Amino acid sequence: MATTEIKKNIHWVGAVDWDIRDFHGYSTNKGSTYNSYLVMDEKIALFDTVKKPFKNELLHHIHELTEPEKIDYIIVNHVEMDHTGCLPEMIELIKPEKVFCSPMGHKALLSHFHREDWPYEIVKSGDSISLGRKTVQFLETKMLHWPDSMFSYIPEDKLLISSDGFGQHWATSERFDDEVNMNELMAHAAKYYANILLIFSPNARKLLEKVAELGLEIDMIAPDHGLIWRKNVAGILESYGRWARQEAREKAVVVFDTMWHSTEKMAKAIYKGLLKEGISIKMMDLQVSHRSDIVTEVLDARAVLFGSPTLNNGMLPTMADMLTYLKGLRPTGKIGAAFGSFGWSGEAVKHINNYMEKMKFDIVDPGLKVKNVPTHEDYQVCFDLGVKVGKAIKGE
């Protein structure tokens, strides 16, 4: 794959990972990219590197434009290893004049690579450097999604190099948003936000406010993963604002696992009750739905219902995994309810409720338990729970 000039004398020189299928528990069934950018000016600057196994791909792309030894600066916007895995080897080869990073980036680089001899240049929000005709302005973006994270902005090109912000895990031969299906792209962007940045939504809101306050003119956003935004910049900024506010619509996600189909039957009866109230519903069976896809659906849902049979005085392991993962992402403003079948004890509902309480869900029902196999009367109770949740979603 060749380099791509994204702005005059600014080139994508990254790598495409077609095969990755898991990223810290996030299902990356469409692969990913590790985007690196090379600015050719009086001073040549490389923005981020790539995951270690892709070093040669990065070097090949750089060689298309210049000799690596001619690079003057390396700018480290984010220290996570998918962007710095080959950094020590690149520094050894390039011998840059300076390695720019945030104050927390400096600490992170030392604790990752234990190299005090690198030519660090620490920059903070508001600092800038000149490359010649182009300027690079820095904006720290702490906890989006690591303490070291920062953006680099090139005002002459109205280009925001946004580190892990506005990214997607999606391997493509295309480099720009207007070269792919926009609906699929936005779905990947939503999944990325839901699984990586949701926990940091308060920080995202503050960052968006800061960008507006600074009056940055942005007509292109170049993230470290996925496609570069050049057509739908306003759209992705608007979406991030909505996701950061955790705005929800009249939608419910029913997440369940089942042992002998009794909890599944309950879920289907609850579905019918929600449907009666005109609610949009996603049925997510944990046997076939990955946790990261469920979280993506939860992103804009007003209610989430969790169903599990009782196993060994607890819930099924798949549900425990799901709730642990979701709890770590700290969704807010959700309505919740628990349900499940049992044989002789029935503690699963209690344990699910405990998780929802810790996530500060508005639990609208104490929990529905059915012994063994549901009867017609039990189906009606499940249906009524769906109606109850549906009315709560609508504020009735």
Tell me if 72 sits within 8 A of 47, measured CB to CB.
no
Which of these is catalytic: 17, 164, 264, 378?
164
- Is 11 annotated as catalytic? no
One-character DSSP codes across 315-382: E-HHHHHHHHHHHHH---S-EEEEEEEESS---HHHHHHHHHHHTT-EE-SS-EEEESS--HHHHHHH
Alpha-carbon span 341 to 369, nearest angstrom: 6
- Is 225 annotated as catalytic? yes
Which of these is catalytic: 82, 293, 365, 378?
82
- Is 145 annotated as catalytic? yes
Q: Give CA torsion, residues 99, 104, 106, 110, to 10 deg.
A: -140
- Is 321 annotated as catalytic? no
Which of these is catalytic: 225, 240, 271, 379?
225
Bridge-partner residues for 385, per DSSP? none
Any idea what the Cα angle at residue 224 is, between residues 212 and 141, rounded to 5°?
Answer: 40
Which of these is catalytic: 26, 192, 271, 355?
192
Alpha-carbon span 165 to 106, nearest angstrom: 20
The whole-angstrom distance between residue 274's C-alpha and the CA centroid of its chain comes to 29
Identify which of 132, 323, 174, 333 has the alpha carbon closest to the alpha carbon of residue 245. 333
Which of these is catalytic: 80, 148, 157, 297?
80
Helix axes 317-329, 291-298, angle to 10 degrees: 50
- Is 78 annotated as catalytic? yes
One-character DSSP codes across 235-304: HHHHHHHHHHTT--EEEEEEEE--SSSHHHHHHHHHHHHHHHTT-EEEEEETTTS-HHHHHHHHTTEEEE
- Is 67 annotated as catalytic? no
Alpha-carbon separation of residue 32 from 15, 152, 255, 306 (angstroms)? 9, 22, 27, 31
Bridge-partner residues for 339, per DSSP? 307, 368
Which of these is catalytic: 24, 69, 92, 117?
24
- Is 41 annotated as catalytic? no
Alpha-carbon span 30 to 144, nearest angstrom: 23
Which of these is catalytic: 61, 106, 145, 188?
145
Which of these is catalytic: 61, 78, 106, 351?
78
Cβ count near 272 (within 10 Å): 14
Residues serving a catalytic function are: 24, 78, 80, 82, 145, 164, 192, 225
